[in-house]
Structure 1
Amino acid sequence: MNQQQYHPWLFRIALATAIATLPLMIMGGHVTTKGYGMAVDGWPGSDGQNMFTYPVFGLPTDKFFEHVHRLLGTLVGFLSIVLVIVAFKVDSQKWIRKVAIAVLVCVIIQGILGGTRVTENSVGLAMAHGLFAACVFTLMSFLTMANGKRWIEISNDPPELPTGYGRRLAIAVPLIVLFQYFLGGFLSHFKIGLHPHMSFAVIVLIFVIIEFRYARKSGIKWLKRPAMGMLHICIFQILLGIGAWLTRFGLPAAGIVGEPGSLQQSLFRTVHLMTGILLLMTATLYSIRVFRLHQLNKRNASEQSLSASDSLPNTEGNA
């Protein structure tokens, strides 16, 4: 069997690409929160100028954030190209190369979505741009995990999953979190769906708690750690949502006055958005780990069965 090898530079480039995407999404979240998406006219140029020679400093606040968002997108695109080159240079695993190509293709699509959102002045495309960003970041994070030392160690010596460990739950939780993120996108872009978004957060928390209990009972650290992280992120996300709601609408009975558009509200909304992306990423990577262990356990069981059958004596007599 052609076992996967650890390639430090491939891991570093994958990690750098994912990390570089974080400030890009933070900037994009702030652009969405403050409504700066149409501040810079045109695409791929900026206000009729070359995007790379367009001045950064001295711009009005809205143009500054939107322009820096575009520049950070270019940086991520460059790193994605380097990622594909390094993957083909050092790794013989076809699936790793395919995932690297998928990252690059998704980054290109994301850039086109962002540019078309500007040229068409479409709120719907802005929402799609934000949703797809979370999915692309999750794919980058998966590629980083799949090139890490721990992934390879687990592949060579996988712990045994309990019988019937919840694969259906592992499928359900990321989908539920994605739907909640979708509801949040409707709220951010179209200003509708506040109560469904708030109510569904409780459902997300319940499923995350159930998944955490499964992981803890399994006794497998490779599952327990991301499950614990997922639970903490989910609780923090709900608290941020409450903060965003209070800074927007206030709570007169408690003497809290809402300040729509204030710095406090912008910070709560932006961090709330970013934490939602991290929750989706963590839930997805946890589920991938579950299915990876199922696959490895099945492979080992098959190999053991084959070895046992090969070791049986030949019961047929010689003619």
Structure 2
Amino acid sequence: MALADWSIPVQPHDHRARARWWFAVLTAFFTLALISWGGFVTTIDAGMAVPDWPSSFGSYDPFKTGFHDPTDPSAQWWDRTPILAEHGHRLLGALVGLLTIGLALWIWRSDPRRWMRRLGFAALGLVIFQGILGGLRVTENSLALAAVHGATAQLFFSLIVAIALFTSPAWLEARAVPADGPPLDRLRRLSLWTIAALYGQIILGVLLRHPGQGIAIHFAVVHIAGAFVVTGLVLAVFIHVQKHFEANRLLNRAAWAMLWIVALQFALGLSAYLVLLYETPAALRSTLQVVLRTAHVATGALLMGSTVVLTLLALRRRAEAPAAAVAPELAAFSQTNR
């Protein structure tokens, strides 16, 4: 399986295209922050700290007496950590939603690739769905929906990372497209298997963090075993890239990123598990446990993002003249948006 070249003719110093890419990167950054904050909410069991939705204790509800801005300092909602965690997560989610709206509209107005415009609106649809999931998790007080919400967040982050890659100057200018051949075919298979194993590992982690009654031992055992599988696959991808594609700067950077992130992730996961076992009899979680478990969630998202980047780079198909291939579509788009 291979994907089309998908590059478009751009000028080397096209500031509008570069600005759109930076906006996509900014959206990805805040999405990662949102996932990290969500991990913090789950770690301290603050998912139901604010029991009403879409308002938070009546804030930003124009139909209620005493309407006030949710960022109003007089409310002092940040004085209580669980409320700070849950309400802050909602505010950050609203920001990511607004950024996604802006990104989808920007792509629709400025990108000549029809599939890319559809991808932007797919991201918009997914972030709306994710927001509704988060709301239903509260109104239904459902741990099952909380788990689905956590797993879907990783899919949304992967989609935003893909959009950032597709809008990057390196992609648009068709830099370092790998040459077809058996080594590339093997890399494609390896990277796809790595994504599948990694997302399975993420789902196991979500189930491990949302059992409702302490740690589910069977999920913990499978999750630990899965860590070795994912690490092995990342190592296989890295070695294959170094052996056959060391001169390809983009693939090489993505492979190194995967290697360093999976090493950090393995260390964080092991540390979090050991600390959790040591502190299980304690009534309250320590700051160290909260930091380690939250960092583990954030690093998992980074590993997923770097793996998505490498996989898309590997799946990209070399084209003789990528600019000519999209010239008719670009001309039609220019005529429509004059």
Distance 1:285 1:63 in 2: 36
Q: Which moved more, 1:232-241 or 1:56-65?
A: 56-65
Are 1:199 and 2:225 counterparts?
Answer: yes
- Answering whether residue 77 of structure 2 is matched by residue 53 of structure 1, we say no
Aligned to 1:13: 23
Structure 1: which amino acid aligns with 2:128? I
Amino acid at match of 1:289: L
Q: Which residue of 1 aligns with 2:291?
A: 267
Deviation per residue, 1:183-209 (Å, 9 max, x gap): 111111113211111111111111110
> Aligned partners of 1:270, 1:101: CA distance in 2, in Å?
30
CA distance in 1, matches of 2:101, 2:89: 19
* TM-score scaled by length of structure 2: 0.81
**C-alpha distance in structure 2 between counterparts of 1:182 and 1:26, whole Å:** 16
CA contact (8 A) 2:34 2:92 kept: yes
Query: 2: CA distance between counterparts of 1:258 and 1:143?
Result: 45
* Amino acid paired to 1:142: A
Q: Say yes or no: does 1:187 pair with 2:212.
A: no
Q: Find the aligned partners of 1:267 and 1:178 in 2 and give their Cα distance.
A: 22
**Which secondary structure does the structure 2 equivalent of 1:300 belong to?**
coil
Cα distance between partner residues in 2 of 1:98 and 1:148: 17
Instruction: Give the match's secondary structure for 1:45.
Output: coil
Q: Indicate yes or no: 2:64 matched with 1:38.
A: no
Structure 1 residue 154: deviation in Å?
Answer: 2.5
Q: Which residue of 1 aligns with 2:137?
A: 117
Deviation at 1:280, TM superposition (A): 1.2
2:264 to 232, 236, 241: 236
C-alpha contact 1:14 1:140 (8 A) present in aligned 2: yes
Instruction: Name the counterpart of 1:22.
Output: 32
2:250 and 2:113 mapped to 1: Cα distance? 23
Give the TM-score normalised by the residue count of structure 1.
0.86
Question: In the alignment, is the contact (CA less than 8 A) between 1:4 and 1:93 conserved in 2?
Answer: no
Counterpart amino acid of residue 140 in structure 1: I
Aligned twin of 1:215: 241
CA contact (8 A) 1:113 1:129 kept: yes
Q: How far does residue 151 in structure 1 lie from its aligned partner after superposition?
A: 1.0
2: CA distance between counterparts of 1:12 and 1:181?
A: 28
Is 1:160 paired with 2:179?
yes
Q: Distance in 2 between matches of 1:168 and 1:200?
A: 19
Tell me, in whole angstroms, the C-alpha distance in 2 between the residues paired with 1:2 and 1:131.
Answer: 31
CA deviation vs aligned residue, 1:71-111 (integer Å, no higher than 9, x gap): 11111111111112211222111122111111111110110
Match of 1:306 in 2: none
CA contact (8 A) 1:246 1:258 kept: no
Alpha-carbon distance in structure 1 between the residues aligned to 2:280 and 2:106: 53
Distance 2:129 2:145 in 1: 12
Task: Tell me the number of residue pairs that the alignment of Structure 1 and Structure 2 aligns.
Answer: 292
Corresponding position: 1:170 with 2:170: no
> Aligned residue for 1:312?
none
Structure 2 letter corresponding to 1:206: G
1:242, distance to aligned residue in structure 2 (A): 1.1
Provide the secondary structure at the position in 1 that maps to 2:177: coil
Shift of residue 245 of structure 1? 1.2
Specify which structure has the bigger relative contact order, considering alpha-carbon pairs within 8 angstroms and separated by 6 or more residues. Answer: 2
- 1:88-103 correspondence to structure 2 within 5 Å: 88-103=108-123
Spell out the pairing of 1:280-291 with structure 2 (5 A cutoff): 280-291=304-315
135 and 257 in structure 1: CA distance in 2 versus 1, 3 angstrom threshold: closer
Identical-residue share of aligned pairs (%): 34
Q: CA deviation at 1:158?
A: 2.8
Pair member with larger Rg: 1
Please list every run of 5 or more consecutive structure 1 residues that lacks an aligned counterpart in the other structure. 251-255, 303-319
- Equivalent residue letter for 1:163: P
Residues of 1 paired with 2:57 and 2:134: CA distance? Answer: 16
2:90 is aligned with 1:70: yes
Long gaps (5+) in structure 2: 1-5, 62-67, 323-338
| Contact 1:91 1:97 survives alignment (8 Å) | yes
Cα gap change, 1:2 to 1:248, in 2 (>3 Å): closer
State whether structure 2 residue 156 is matched by structure 1 residue 136.
Answer: yes
Contact 1:31/1:65 (CA < 8 Å) preserved in 2? yes
- Tell which deviates more after alignment, 26-35 or 162-171: 162-171
Partner of 2:277: 249
CA distance in 2, matches of 1:125, 1:228: 35
> Per the alignment, in what secondary structure is the counterpart of residue 154 of structure 1?
coil
Verify the 8 A CA contact 1:17 1:140 in the aligned structure 2: yes
